Structure 1
Amino acid sequence: MPAIHASAALQRFRVLDLSRVRSGPTCVRMLADFGADVIRIEPPPGIDPNEAMFAADRWSGDFQNLNRNKRSLTLNLKKPEGAEVLKRLVKSADVVVENWRPDVKERLGMDYESLSRINPRVILASISGFGQTGPYAHRPGFDQIIQGMGGLMSVTGLPGQGPVRAGLAVSDSSTGLYVAIGILTALLEREISGKGQWVHASLLHAQIAMMDFQGARYLNDGDVPVQAGNDHPTSSPMGLFHAANGPFNLGASGEGNWQRFCAALKQPQWLKDPDFSTEKLRVRNRGRLTKEIQEIFSTATVEHWVKLLNEAGVPAGPVYTVPQLFEDPQVQHLGVAKKITAWQGGDRSFITQPVTLERTPADVKRSAPGWGEHTDEILKEAGYSEDAVTSLKNSGVV
């Protein structure tokens, strides 16, 4: 079966995906959902000692979600013949994505200089834990390690609680998205120069970039961010409050929202209170303000307050569990989840791309591939004969 393009937007591009775990597959998934012909290149079963972590359970929701819209080619790069197959594929590729440790690609002859000699237009996208150079370049890096070193765990959790990891793979996912933007930028630049280039990012740098206003506060104002729990560190009233039947989030920051909030709760005296006259003062006097607000919120339900505040133009929303969020009517209207029949014959559900292109939208057209499911067809597209494919199989190259 030839490549099935999920969208017309990127269908002219071919991407070789050598990445593993989460950051790289997240990057490449975006390209695949917008129509790129993505070939996931992975070792044959039994070659990689870590395969159980990222390749064996191909029916799991996580693997399916990360690797949908891709084809799979098994290739043993430890064999010279495997490296030659990859080099032949590079000749017709637009992008190669990898997240090996920096020294691995040099050892395999897959560094940018080597690839550009094969195909001057190719773009090599590299993801690492700590960067391609520097004192930590050869360290292994997992998401939680980077959450700690990138400052996120120091500002997550309740005050005095001690470091807390975020409940999702922030550094992995953000790095993947940053690299996808870098690849698309390099493809646009190639239209002018006719040349490829090396695009690379680290989980550490991406995590610190995601710290955004927290990091900027420290660099420019000397304000050291700390754990603030469910309160926003620089805005009030903004955070988690409790209604009679459970918690909900309130975002009454800024003077306009503050005025609408006071009107909605019928508390005009707050507007005249000198302790609450500015955002900074409301943050400074958060304890007293929160206590007074909480007394009011405890008299009615989450549903009552969310409806009242939104109708008044004040941001507010319930706190969902994962099952609840997929039941929300707006989530369903947005088409956040899509179910398709997988190659194994059962149905799998996928989280769709959150950005919409009206004329050439992303889509999920097929489930994650079986291990080496498309090996024969990809090799034949690259010019290998039936006998050559059989020989590569017999020698353990594919």
Structure 2
Amino acid sequence: MDKALSRIKVLDLSRVVAGPVCTSILGDLGADIIKVEGPDFVDETRTWFPPDIEDISLYYMAVNRNKRAITVNLKTEEGIQIIKKLIQESDVIVENFKTGTMERLGLGYEDLKTLNPTIIHCSITGFGHTGPYKQLPGYDFLAQAMSGFMSVNGTPNGEPVKAGIALADLYAGLYSTISILAALEARNHTGRGQHCDISLLDSMVASLLNIGTGFLNTGNPPIRYGNQHPTLVPYQNFKTKDKEIIIAVGNDRQFQRLCSLINAEELSQDDRFVTANTRIIYRDALIPIIQKEILTKTADEWLTILQESNIPCGPINTLDRVFTDEQVLERQMIQEVEHPTVGIVKLLGSPIKLSDTPVTIERHPPLHGEHTEEVLSELGYNKQKIEMLKKEQVI
């Protein structure tokens, strides 16, 4: 069965997280991803462990499935020629070199257009290809801090906190994927490729959504609310008899039902709490009342009661509970793949569910240079030439 992108070839010169996230998604959708590393210079995430399985990094495995891996020395003229041949046969190139590096290699977008006018070139950098920061190196942590995200993340009296996952890398990877898909669709109409310029900082600034928009239009700096919500109350964690749960009341009708369930109907008639706007003002008076009632039952008891009344709620799961949750299992969010050196590896499933061209994992995260000879053979290199390139440390 053809997959959604089965006719698309992607040359992946990216490493670490943001670029590999993008190309893994494209690979999940069926694109032929050719991941390029140096003969001696590997993707850094190959060396990031623990956690690992037999010295193979699980960080690397997390974002490099559905790819073929080759080695090419970009410091050699012959290596650049291999890349140029791949560009001529590719639809997309994804890279995350510092701004200006591709141009110094003779592989800037203007060069690529000459080789292949339909190529879509996606660059992922810390700060983009324009602006005063364009030459600076950028990392996820910096983008979380410089975007203002950390200033609104954390408890009211605590320090600014970064997210526990690489949000800037993830968002940049997702925006890169979206931009590539948009460019592919545009190419269907124009016959031309284009350059996609994605930055970690831009991606995190865009993530501010209502908080950023609110500040832009009022000038009022946001407050850190921890696990509470700036505009919805009650929308936070509550302690039960045994453990904490989340209750996320999104409108006044849900609040009225919650008041009935906790035997406090009078709260829904109190002028301080009748509407979402007033509950924000008087949250400090309301939350302790609700908390006192929630302490009367266990987490499971409350979750059953609340769910039966269609009040959004849920447990605060640890990962062992996440990966045994019947919903997570039903949605196939755990996938197993055979790896050539360590046996069965469990990977996260894709959230993309397509009815006609389903997402599958066809390839294990590749070993370093695993498919070099295969790919070069497809380019027309014979065995003798490949052996010569090895001896000359081009591959």
Whether TM-score is above 0.5 comes out as: yes
* Equivalent residue letter for 1:11: S
Give the counterpart letter for 1:350 in structure 2. L
1:60 match? 57
Q: Following superposition of structure 1 onto structure 2, how do residues 256-267 of structure 1 map, counting pairs within 5 Å?
A: 256-267=253-264
Structure 1 position 81 matched with structure 2 position 78: yes
- Determine whether 1:18 maps to 2:13: yes
Is 1:298 the counterpart of 2:295 in the alignment?
Answer: yes
Task: Tell me whether 16-25 or 216-225 shows the greater mean CA deviation.
Answer: 216-225
Count of residue pairs the alignment pairs up: 389
- Would the aligned equivalents of 2:240 and 2:295 in 1 still touch at CA under 8 Å? yes
SS of equivalent to 2:335: strand
Question: 2:268 aligned with 1:277, yes or no?
Answer: no
Mapped partners of 1:205, 1:27: distance in 2: 16
- Distance in 2 between the 1:29 and 1:219 partners? 35
CA contact (8 A) 1:250 1:316 kept: yes
Query: What is the correspondence of 1:80-119 to structure 2 with a 5 Å cutoff?
Result: 80-119=77-116
Q: State the partner residue of 1:252.
A: 249
2:225 corresponds to which residue?
Answer: 228
Pairing 1:207–2:204 present: yes
Q: State the alpha-carbon separation in 2 of the partners of residues 204 and 224 from structure 1.
A: 20
Q: Does 1:149 align with 2:155?
A: no
The answer as to whether partners of 1:101 and 1:128 remain within 8 angstroms in 2 is yes
Aligned residue for 1:336? 333
Q: Distance in 2 between matches of 1:156 and 1:345?
A: 39
- Residue number in structure 1 paired with 2:352: 355
Are the aligned partners of 1:61 and 1:348 in contact in 2 as well (CA < 8 Å)?
Answer: no
Structure 2: distance between partners of 1:26 and 1:105:
20
Cα distance, 1:214 vs. partner? 0.8
TM-score for both structures, normalised by structure 1: 0.95
Residue pair 2:21, 2:170 contacting (<8 A) in 1 also: yes
Note the alpha carbon deviations across 1:132-171, whole angstroms, 9 max, x for none. Answer: 0111001111111110001111111111211111111110
Mapped contact 1:129–1:202 kept (Cα < 8 A): yes
3-state DSSP of counterpart to 2:272: helix
Q: Which amino acid aligns with 2:359?
A: A
Matched-pair contact (CA < 8 Å) for 1:341–1:367: yes
Report the counterpart of residue 121 of structure 2 in structure 1: 124
Tell me, yes or no, if the aligned pair for 2:252 and 2:274 is still in contact at 8 Å. Answer: no
RMSD of aligned alpha carbons: 1.3
Q: Is 2:338–2:364's contact at 8 Å kept on the other side of the alignment?
A: yes
Give the corresponding residue for 1:170: 167
C-alpha distance in 1 between matches for 2:276 and 2:9 = 51
Q: Which runs of 5+ in 2 are unaligned?
A: 49-54
Aligned match of 1:40 in 31, 35, 42?
35
In structure 2, what is the Cα distance between the partners aligned to 1:352 and 1:110?
34
Cα drift, residue 52 of structure 1: 7.2
Give how far 1:251 is off. Answer: 0.5
- Give 1:266 deviation, angstroms: 2.7
Change in 2 beyond 3 A, CA 1:72/1:52: closer
Given candidates 281, 286, 307, the residue that maps to 1:310 is 307
Which residues of structure 1 form unaligned runs of 5+?
none
Q: Deviations 1:204-237 (Å, cap 9, x if unpaired)?
A: 0000111111101101232321211111111101
**1:369 matched residue in structure 2:** 366
SS in 1 for 2:74: coil
Whole-Å Cα distance in 2 between the matches of residues 348 and 157 of structure 1? 34
Read off the aligned partner of 1:308 and give its amino acid letter: I
Partner amino acid, structure 1, of 2:130: T
Find the residue that maps to 2:351 and give its secondary structure. Answer: coil
Q: Deviations over 1:234-253 (max 9, x none)?
A: 11011111101011111112
State the 1:345 CA deviation: 4.4
* d(CA) in 2 for partners of 1:84, 1:256: 65
- Same amino acid, percent of matched pairs: 38
Q: Distance in 2 between the 1:54 and 1:328 partners? A: 29
Counterpart in 1 of 2:25?
Answer: 30
Q: Give 1:256 shift.
A: 2.0
* 2:98/2:135 contact within 8 Å kept: yes
Q: Supply the distance in 2 between the matched residues of 1:304 and 1:281 (Cα, whole angstroms).
A: 29
